[in-house]
Structure 1
Amino acid sequence: MNIDRFIASRKELGLSQSELAEGICTQATLSRFENNGQVPNLKIVLKLCQKLNLPLSDLFSKVGFKYTETISKLNEIEFLLITCEYEKAQSLLTQVSVKEVDASEICLRYLYLKGFLMALQKEKDTDVLFVFDQILLDNDLKETDIYRLLAYTGVGLVYMENKELEKAEYYFNKVLAQIYHYSIETTEDIWRVLHIVFQCGVFYSEINELEVSNALLEYAVLICSDNHVTYYLARAYFQLVLNSLKEDLASEIVLERLYDARAFAKINHNDKLLDSIAALEKQLLPEKEDAI
C-alpha cells in the first residue's frame, strides 16, 4: 500500500493526524497506519480517503503497476527460455526485482527461470543448486506442484552436465512419477510441462535409455499437437534425430525428422537450433555441400 501518497495528501490539506482521524478512528490508529504500515479496517481506510478526496485505488496503483510489469517481463523471459535465447532472457531477468511484488507464485516463477538460465549457461553448480533449493525447501509446495517438478528437473540437469548420472536419474525419476498426471490448464502450464518432458527426454537419451527418451519426446509432440503450440516441436524432433542416429535407423527416417525440426524451427525463428540443424545436415549429407 502506498502510504507515502496518503500522508502527502493529508499534509497538502494541512490536516494533523488528530484532525483527520476525528469521527473516524483514534489518532493512535492513524499513527500506526502512517508510521508502521499497520493497515486498519478497510472501511476506516475508505473513510479516511474520502475525507482527503483521495481515491482508494491511488493507494494500490503503484503495487499493481509493478506486479503487471513484473508479470509481463517474466512472460517474455519464459518465452525466451523455451526458444533458447538464453542471453536475452538473462539480460531481461536482471531488470526484475521480486522484492517489488509480495506474491509467492511470482517469486517461485522467478527462481525457476533464474535457475534454468544459470544451469543452461553453465554457471557455478553450487549457485544453481542454491536457487533450486529455495524452491524445494518451500514447505507450502506439494510434491506435485509444477515448481517443485521444475526444480527437480533443474537439479537433475546440473548433475547430468557433470556426468553424475546416478544422481541425475534420482531427480528425473521423481519428475517422471508425477508429470504424466499433471493437469494442463493454462498456456504457462503447457510451456512448463513441455520444458520438463523435453529435458527428461534429453537425459534418458544421455544414458542410452532410448525407448524412454523417445516416449517422452513423442509425448511432447502430442502436447504440442493437442494444444496447438509449436514452441517445442523443433527441439523435440531434433532430439529424436539424435536418438535415431544412436539407434542407427535408416537415413530416410533421420532426414525426415531433421527436416521436420527445421520447418518448425523456421516457424519459431529459433536461429540457434537452425544453426545446429544445418551443421548436422552437413555431416549427414557432405556431398550436398560439395555440390554447392
Structure 2
Amino acid sequence: MFKGNEVRQARKNLNMTQKELCKGICTPVTISKLESKNIAPTVDILIKICTRLGISLNDVFDEFSASGLQALQEKMQQTELLTTIQQHKEAKKVLQTVKEESVRDTPYEEQYHFLKGDILLVADQDYEDAKFEFDKVLNITLQNGNNLYTALTYNCLGVLYFKQKQNEKAAYYFRLSCEFVEEVPELNSHYVSNVIRILDNSSRYFSKIGEYEESNDLIERGLKLTREYRFGSYKDTLSYIYAYNLYELDREKNKEQITDLIGRAKVYAEDNDNHYLLKKIEAFEETNNLKEKA
C-alpha cells in the first residue's frame, strides 16, 4: 500500500511547501493527491520526489508492497522493451502474468493499461478493447497529472484511427502527441527513447499520407535526440523514411542526400539487426534504380 502521509511528514520535517517540493518535477496537484489521497504518481516522478525529501521508495510503501513493486517494475520494463522492438506477442505473455488489481494505486497503473492497449492494438488488432485501455490511461493521467503515458496514448490512438482509415482523427492524435513532447524536460533514457518512439511513429504516418515536409520536421527532431542522447534505436527507420520523403519531394535535387541517408539507414539497420528494414531498403533501391553500380 502506498503511504502518502510519509511524503507529507518528510516534507514538513524539512519545512518545505508543496510548491517547493514539486518545482521542476510535477504539478502541485500531483503532490496534493499524493499526500491526501494516497495516489502515487509515475515511478520516475516518485523517485525524484523521494530523492528531494531524502527518503526511499521503501519508506512510502509497506514492506510487502515494496518487494511486490520491484517485481512489478521488472515485468513492466520487460513488457515495454518487447513492445519497443515489435515483439508484441512475447510482450503479451509477460503482461498476462500481471494481475490488474496488483497495479492499482501503484506508479505503474497507467503504464500497465498503456501496454495492454498497445498489445491489443498491434498483436490482437482488437481496436475496441485497445481504445478502452487507452481511455483508462487518459482518465488516470487526468486525475494524477499528464505525463509521458498521456503522450504515448495519444500516439497510439493515432495509430488506431489510421488502421481504421479515419485519417482526420489519426492526424489529430499524432499531432497532439508530438505537441505534448515539444520540450523534453527529463533527461532519463526511458523518457527520451519514448519521445523518439512518438516522433518515429508520427513521421511514418505523415509520410504515408504524403505530408512529407511535416514528416521531415518530426524526423529531424528525432534524429537530433538520437545524437544528443546517443541512441542507436530508431536511427535506421528515421533515416530511411527521411530518404523516402526526399525522393518523393524531388529525387533529382535531393539525390546526394538520399544516397547518404540510405547508406546510413543500412548501417544502422545492420547494427540493430533490423532485417525487416534491410529488406525494405533493398526493395526501395531496386524499384527506384538507386543501387550503386559496381
**Which residue is 2:199 aligned to?**
197
Matched with 2:239 is 237
Q: Tell me how far 1:172 sits from its aligned partner.
A: 2.1
Q: Residue in 2 aligned with 1:31?
A: none
Matches within 5 A, 1:1-292: 62-121=64-123, 123-138=125-140, 139-142=142-145, 144-250=146-252, 251-285=255-289
CA distance in 2, matches of 1:134, 1:266: 38
Residue 237 of structure 1 and its aligned partner are, at CA, apart by: 1.1
* Structure 1 residues 284 and 91: alpha-carbon distance in aligned structure 2, compared to 1, 3 A threshold: farther
Query: 1:277 is matched by which residue type in structure 2?
Result: I
List per-residue Cα deviations over 1:57-97 (Å, max 9, x = no partner): 9x955533332222122222222222223333233222333
Q: Distance in 1 between matches of 2:103 and 2:190?
A: 19
Residues 248, 86 of structure 1: alpha-carbon distance in 2 compared, 3 angstrom cutoff: farther
Q: Which amino acid aligns with 2:228?
A: D
> Identical aligned pairs, as a percentage?
23
1:112 match: secondary structure = helix
Deviation of residue 189 (structure 1)? 0.4
The answer for unaligned runs of 5 or more in structure 2 is: 2-57
CA 1:245–1:96 in 2, change beyond 3 Å: closer, same or farther? farther
* Contact 2:114–2:153 (CA under 8 A) maintained in structure 1: yes
Q: Quick one: structure 1 residues 141 and 170, their matched pair in 2 at CA, closer, same or farther if it must change by over 3 Å?
A: farther
Mapped partners of 2:102, 2:66: distance in 1: 10
Q: Quick check: 2:82–2:91 contact (8 Å CA) kept in 1?
A: yes
Residues 287, 154 of structure 1: alpha-carbon distance in 2 compared, 3 angstrom cutoff: closer
Does the 8 A contact of 2:174 with 2:202 survive in 1?
yes
Aligned length: 234
2:191 counterpart SS class? helix
Distance 1:235 1:218, change over 3 A: same
Amino acid aligned to 2:117: G
Which one-letter code corresponds to 2:187 in the other structure? E
Take 1:198 and 1:221, find their aligned partners in 2: how far apart are those partners?
9
How does the TM-score come out when normalised to structure 1?
0.70
Kindly indicate whether the alpha-carbon contact (under 8 Å) linking 2:131 and 2:157 is maintained by their aligned counterparts in 1: yes
Q: CA deviation at 1:264?
A: 1.4
8 A contact 1:282–1:288 mirrored in 2 = no
With normalisation by structure 2, the TM-score equals 0.70
Q: Deviations over 1:93-146 (max 9, x none)?
A: 22333433444431211222222233233612111111111111223143x522
> Mind listing any 5+ residue stretches in structure 1 that lack a counterpart?
2-55
For the aligned residues, what is the CA RMSD?
Answer: 2.9
